A = this chain, B = another copy of it.
């Protein structure tokens, strides 16, 4: 192959992989000569070859541009489906999350509430204000523990619930997931035992695997939360270092712990010297008028690391969470300095600006009411459409519904079939290290009830009928 053909092939490859897309201006002849060391004649020949093949077009006095994609090059095959129903669990979770990323899907598997419920006018105004400030003062790195105004606003929200949390013990993180991971790292060493819920948020299970910990999964109920007798047994039988659980609107079940259970749980942990990572990312989405107190509220010994977030209630894409870490605050800051250094400064400033407007509580009030209404509509539609043998758990607060197919059915099979039709669900296989929830799945009931949602629920119902009829599934 001659030099100009080699160059043409290289550019063709770049167009094929999307480095240059339809309408993009290619590097000029002069730039390419300078960069490649080839002669002008060679570069020109390559460009002319690509033009003759229809890949690029020249525009007089402005250079070469990528031509509209032809069918042969423009077609993107969909990713192949995984063939088996039992697969590497991390790969499976990855594919479930990626599938939900497709805007064409009805995202009943999503963990986020419908984004149209967020106050984007006000947030946009706050971000604009930060942009204008940046114009004047710049925005440098905000090292851990993070933006002081934001930490103070969070401490004020704790104070309004009667909780004494100093701004100094709050560390701002890249979403609650970083807060949770850093908390677990701060409390454990490889080989340590950790209590988790069953079913549990998959992030907890992945963290335990990644940090080489050992897990005791304790049965968790949609109404009562973690089974405290089982927890007591686990604490007697294993040298547990930490416990990770969700006190409110548990993911995936949706339920919250009664206050008495929270206190008993904390007493049990204290008795065995065990620390708690309290994942409270859905804590603001309680039912009723009064906010429930997190377990942290009863903590007098700095045993509880309370992790919160704005991602589920305010600003999905900002990726801002926090941990009220007590004495572990400095350890967590050090871990953060080593892993991500710090959290985006403009995002922290924009949230601090929004919170200073005191609109958050009003927004949350409306959000809670809307979510409750939408969940109720979904619940009734599901009861009408799904076979009677499907059990639906309806918890107060949250926007999740947890469903159980008959025990012989595989919800992962339902997941794949629904996906082919542009509907996602969160199959039970994601929420435990073993197969015990393979017949279960979680639905997001925060979407508006419109023809799209209705069609999706009815289609799911048909798929469920099919799967039940197929008999025992391995």
| Residues in chain A within 8 A of chain B (CB atoms) | 10, 13-14, 17-21, 24, 27, 31, 35-36, 90-91, 93-94, 97-98, 101, 112, 115-116, 118, 120-121, 123-125, 127-128, 130-132, 134-135, 138-143, 152, 155-156, 158-162, 164-168, 174-175, 177-178, 181, 190, 203, 206-207, 210, 212, 311, 315-320, 330, 333-335, 337-347, 350
Contact = CB atoms under 8 A, between A and B. Distances in A.
Contacts of A315: 139
B130 A127 contact: yes
Given A90-B334, A138-B118, A177-B340, A155 B19 contact: yes
B35 A162 contact: yes
**Identical chains in the assembly:** 2
A318 B127 CA distance: 13
Given A143-B101, A167-B19, A346 B334 contact: no
Contacts of A143: 97-98, 101
A159 B24 CA distance: 13
A297 B138 CA distance: 34
A347 to B, nearest CB: 5
Contact of A159 (B20, B130, B178, B320): B20
B344 A319 contact: yes
Given A18-B166, A101-B143, A166-B18, A319 B340 contact: yes
Nearest to A339: B181
A346 B318 contact: yes
A135 to B, nearest CB: 4
24 contacts: A14-B159, A17-B155, A17-B166, A17-B167, A21-B152, A24-B156, A35-B160, A35-B162, A94-B333, A97-B143, A112-B141, A118-B138, A121-B135, A124-B134, A125-B135, A128-B132, A141-B319, A177-B338, A177-B341, A210-B335, A210-B339, A316-B345, A339-B339, A344-B347
A121 B17 CA distance: 33
B178 A339 contact: yes
Does more than half of chain A's interface fall in helix, strand or loop, or is it mixed?
helix
Contact of A138 (B116, B131, B320): B116
A24 B356 CA distance: 10
Nearest to A347: B344
Contact of A135 (B97, B101, B124): B124
A157 to B, nearest CB: 10
Contacts of A330: 94
A223 B374 CA distance: 65
A239 to B, nearest CB: 21
Nearest to A160: B27
A333 to B, nearest CB: 7
B338 A340 contact: no
A422 to B, nearest CB: 18
A123 B347 CA distance: 14
Nearest to A210: B338
Contacts of A164: 10, 13-14, 17, 19
Nearest to A155: B19
Contacts of A177: 338-341
Contacts of A98: 143
B94 A334 contact: yes
Contacts of A158: 19
A134 B112 contact: no
Nearest to A202: B338
A334 to B, nearest CB: 5
Nearest to A151: B18
Given A19-B155, A344-B344, A346-B347, A141 B91 contact: no
Contacts of A338: 90, 177, 181, 203, 206-207, 210
Contacts of A318: 139, 344-346
Nearest to A358: B25
Given A90-B338, A207-B338, A317-B140, A134 B155 contact: no
A159 B21 CA distance: 13
Given A27-B159, A131-B127, A334-B91, A141 B316 contact: yes
Contacts of A162: 10, 35-36
Nearest to A334: B94
B347 A17 contact: no
Contacts of A120: 134-135, 138-139
B123 A127 contact: no
Contact of A128 (B93, B128, B181): B128
